[in-house]
Amino acid sequence: MSHVLDSRSRPLRDLRISVTDRCNFRCTYCMPKEIFGRDYAFLPRAELLSFEEITRLARVFAEQGVTKVRLTGGEPLLRRDLERLVETLAGISGIGDVALTTNGTALAAKAQVLKNAGLSRVTVSLDALDDETFGAMNDVSFPVARVLAGIDAAAEAGFSPVKVNMVVKRGANDHAIVPMADYFRNSGHILRMIEFMDVGTTNGWCLDDVVSAAEIRNTIHASWPLEPLAANYPGEVANRYRYRDGAGEIGLIASVTQPFCGGCTRARLSAEGKLHTCLFANHGHDLRAILRSGATDQELAERLRAIWTARADRYSEVRSAKTAPTQKVEMSYIGG
């Protein structure tokens, strides 16, 4: 199958599907409580894509070359019966990988069901190991132990390795870099540390708050020497390292200091069916309206190809005050 290429010759390979804009955390870098408070108006259920609509779109994406799907949110496990969607997506011809990114709060209860449904991989967000720091980051005082229990349950269900994502913000949790590395060494899981990004417009992003991947690497290397690993595939976002003492692998995602726009093969579908061609987009393309107007699969495919072939996004490569749109789509809306 030939991939559809954008204006910078980047193929469409990965589809990230947000299944809900709701979350039970209020992480300061994603859904700050000051904005997403008790009165915040989330999407009504009728505006969300149904599982059948998501599956139909995923089939069309697969016909254009998508081979990997990742379910996100908000917190995707807040969407009831998510395993039904996993099962149908895993059965689509051409899609060989269905993954999930979750905050882990419901993973202990759902890991085995999701594995049985055909989920390929799990990524869990965890920003510190001590309750004080983690509680301040998630801003709902959710305990670390329950997230770790979810990671353990995922491993027991057969997800190996589990990837653990840590967003590093200076002055908030940068002191947790070494403890996190220490905990996940020899665990069989892969810790990935992510530079604090200017996604959306509500998280108060400032360049001074960014701990660079180079600084993170040097901090860990001082305790346990690291050596680089080759990428698993073209366009992989994490720079891979292994511990020289054989204690496993770690990843660093340097989207601010070392942008990887040139290899970006990801499209993002919001919970209400808007297609975004960049994490830092300020608008999306409404596929739900086309779906619900009675369009054929061929018409959907033509619209999708038109959107992707016109794509020229490279926000992180040209990031500056001049290029930043005044309003960007929030990470909780398109799943990071």
Domain ranges of the chain: 14-334
Mean pLDDT of 56-71: 98
Give the strand pairing for 274-276 and 266-269. antiparallel
The per-residue pLDDT for 322 is: 45
CATH 3.40.50.10260 matches 14-334: no
Under DSSP, is residue 159 helix (H, G, I), strand (E, B) or coil? coil
Q: How many CB atoms lie within 10 A of CB 2?
A: 7
Is pLDDT larger for residue 201 or for residue 311?
Answer: 311
Q: Which of 237, 260, 275, 238 is nearest to 4 (CA)?
A: 275
Average pLDDT of the chain is 92
Cα dihedral: 203, 208, 213, 214 (round 10): 180
Structure token digits, residue 180: 């996190």
Q: Which of 14, 2, 9 is nearest to 314 (CA)?
A: 9
Lowest mean pLDDT among 26-40, 91-105, 138-152: 26-40
Judged against a pLDDT cut of 80, whether residue 82 lies above it is answered with yes
Alpha-carbon gap, residue 73 to 98, rounded angstroms: 15
Span 259-302, pLDDT tens digits? 778 899 999 999 999 999 988 787 899 999 999 999 999 999 99
Span 301-317, pLDDT tens digits? 999 999 999 999 887 76
Contacts with 156 (C-beta within 8 Å, 6 or more apart), sequence order:
111, 112
The per-residue pLDDT for 48 is: 97
User: Percentage of the chain surpassing pLDDT 70?
Assistant: 92
pTM of the model: 0.94
Structure token digits, residue 207: 């360049």
The per-residue pLDDT for 321 is: 46
* Confidence label for 336 from pLDDT (cuts 50, 70 and 90): low
Alpha-carbon gap, residue 87 to 177, rounded angstroms: 36
Asked if omega into 225 is within 30° of 0 (cis), the reply is no
Judged against a pLDDT cut of 60, whether residue 326 lies above it is answered with no
Alpha-carbon gap, residue 309 to 64, rounded angstroms: 11
Cα dihedral: 57, 63, 66, 71 (round 10): 20
